[in-house]
């Protein structure tokens, strides 16, 4: 390619990154103004989700006093880890503007592979988990190659995967149908482990300090690059808000059994994926490919490689979610990875703020979205609401989230 043309496209993509992620329009160019935490282009960001969570807490808390109890909130935290981890993989794929319908079946298959290796082949639990995640990576690699090399639509590729991997899972289960994990084994104990209070508070302060240090490093890099930055007050307020929220969660759950280990695992995956997407070059490539694949290709980004790696990552996260689900049930069966897991994972990613059109979203969307879905489902169960109504309410919340995303996309245009 002509060097001048290549440089033009490179500057175009960099300008898009700066406008989208670093220097939102409407800031006035002053670089020191206090800005609300909302993305560029007038997009609502996480604010509607947070407001929705507050409304859910008020409504269900007033209708049923048990909703905000320490016991119920601890159970809620325990329930959302598996599906939330699967939703993280959906967030990755949606950032490309694609979809993965196979994550439910992949989660069930990986859980079955892990259980068969551990129970029937007597493979150590840690090795069985790693081998199951390796199988998930191979599945994601197959999906990515079919999508990029064979140019099959991601919808068709993963729809075939949904059916095929579920069939393989049923074949591996055989006539048994159900395989129980040892109740005293490390995999089953994963969901029955609760952090001591001192360790929970240590994690809160470490998380707050890590957030502050990361934000300061990003701020320093932006100043070095001549980009505008916000003042120290918004950073201090965000850090304090994070510590207060985490501290409140720890205080509530400590009133029951404590903070579940699976929630810490899920939260760690959210933080890790968010850092990778925001602060690493491959993470920016994902946003670039999702925003405009052709511009990214002309800027020198290996679009095919990025797409394949994203499908691999989505399948590995789906496998991890399946392992967490198997740990919670201490068993795998023919319904593993089935029921409404796929729909809830996709709904969580979209409700949390990830765009269906690619290029926009954060890893925290999975956490916020699964909180909304599980809170609504849990509240209606406490009120003995019929399952038909629960499905319709979840559908309404999902439709509202997609409407907000479509309106935001129209505003950007």
Spell out the residues 6+ positions from residue 270 whose beta carbon is closer than 8 angstroms to its own. Answer: 84, 88, 363, 364, 366, 367
User: Taking each helix axis from N to C terminus, what angle separates 103-115 and 341-351, rounded to the nearest 10 degrees?
Assistant: 130
Residue 11 lies in a domain: no
**Structural domains of the chain, count:** 1
Residue 233 lies in a domain: yes
Residue 32 lies in a domain: no
Residue 380 lies in a domain: yes
pLDDT digits (tens, 9 = 90+) for 52-99: 888 888 989 998 888 888 899 898 988 899 999 999 999 999 999 999
- Record the tokens describing residue 218, joined without a space: 């990003």
The pTM (predicted TM-score) of the whole model is 0.85
> Residue 259 belongs to what H/E stretch?
strand 259-260
Portion of the chain with pLDDT greater than 70, in percent: 87
Residue 116: phi, psi to the nearest 5?
Answer: -60, -45
Measured distance CA(171)–CA(14) in Å, rounded: 49
- Record the tokens describing residue 182, joined without a space: 């040892």
The DSSP-derived string for 78-117 is: HHHHHHHHHHHHHHHHHHTT---TTHHHHHHHHHHHHHII
CA-wise closest residue to 92 among 366, 279, 293, 343: 366
Residue 179: phi, psi to the nearest 5?
Answer: -125, 125
Measured distance CA(351)–CA(338) in Å, rounded: 21
Per-residue confidence of the chain (413 residues) as pLDDT tens digits? Answer: 444 444 444 444 444 444 444 443 334 444 433 333 343 344 556 677 888 888 888 989 998 888 888 899 898 988 899 999 999 999 999 999 999 999 999 999 999 999 999 999 999 999 999 999 999 999 999 999 999 999 999 999 999 999 999 999 999 998 878 899 988 889 989 988 999 999 999 999 999 999 899 888 888 888 888 888 888 888 888 889 889 989 999 999 988 888 999 999 999 999 999 999 988 999 999 999 999 999 999 999 999 999 999 999 999 999 999 999 999 999 999 988 887 899 889 989 988 888 888 888 889 988 999 998 999 888 898 888 887 887 888 788 878 777 876 776 665 55
The DSSP-derived string for 179-201 is: EEPPTTSHHHHGGG-EE-HHHHH
Residue 86 lies in a domain: yes
Rg (C-alpha) for the chain, rounded Å, is 22
- What is the span of the domain harbouring residue 365? 44-412
């Amino acid at each position: 390619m002509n060097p001048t043309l290549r440089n033009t496209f490179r500057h175009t993509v960099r300008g898009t990154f700066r406008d989208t992620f670093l220097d939102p329009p409407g800031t006035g160019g002053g670089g020191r103004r206090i800005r609300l935490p909302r993305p560029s282009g007038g997009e609502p960001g996480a604010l509607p989700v947070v407001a929705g969570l507050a409304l859910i807490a008020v409504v269900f808390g007033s209708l049923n006093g048990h909703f905000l109890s320490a016991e119920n909130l601890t159970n809620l935290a325990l329930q959302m880890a598996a599906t939330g981890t699967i939703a993280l993989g959906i967030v990755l794929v949606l950032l490309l503007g694609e979809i993965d319908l196979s994550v439910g079946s992949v989660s069930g298959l990986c859980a079955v592979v892990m259980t068969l290796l551990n129970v029937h082949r007597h493979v150590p639990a840690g090795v069985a988990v790693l081998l199951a995640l390796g199988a998930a990576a191979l599945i994601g690699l197959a999906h990515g190659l079919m999508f990029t090399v064979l140019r099959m639509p991601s919808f068709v590729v993963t729809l075939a995967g949904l059916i095929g991997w579920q069939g393989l899972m049923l074949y591996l289960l055989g006539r048994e149908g159900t395989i129980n994990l040892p109740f005293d084994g490390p995999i089953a104990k994963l969901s029955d482990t609760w952090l001591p209070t001192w360790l929970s508070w240590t994690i809160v302060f470490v998380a707050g300090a890590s957030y502050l240090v990361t934000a300061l490093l990003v701020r320093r890099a932006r100043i070095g690059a001549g980009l505008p930055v916000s003042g120290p007050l918004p950073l201090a307020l965000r850090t304090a808000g994070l510590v207060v929220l985490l501290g409140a969660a720890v205080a509530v759950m400590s009133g029951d059994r404590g903070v579940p280990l699976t929630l810490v695992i899920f939260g760690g995956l959210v933080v890790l994926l968010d850092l990778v997407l925001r602060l690493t070059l491959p993470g920016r490539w994902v946003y670039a490919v999702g925003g405009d694949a052709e511009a990214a290709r002309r800027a020198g980004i290996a679009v095919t490689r990025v797409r394949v790696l994203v499908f691999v990552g989505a399948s590995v996260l789906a496998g991890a979610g399946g392992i967490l689900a198997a740990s919670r049930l201490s068993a795998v069966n023919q319904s593993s990875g089935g029921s409404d897991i796929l729909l809830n994972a996709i709904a969580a990613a979209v409700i949390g703020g990830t765009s269906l059109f690619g290029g926009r979203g954060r890893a925290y969307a999975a956490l916020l979205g699964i909180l909304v879905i599980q809170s609504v489902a849990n509240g209606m169960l406490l009120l003995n609401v019929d399952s038909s109504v629960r499905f319709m309410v979840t559908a309404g919340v999902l439709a509202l989230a997609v409407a907000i995303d479509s309106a935001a996309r129209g505003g950007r245009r």
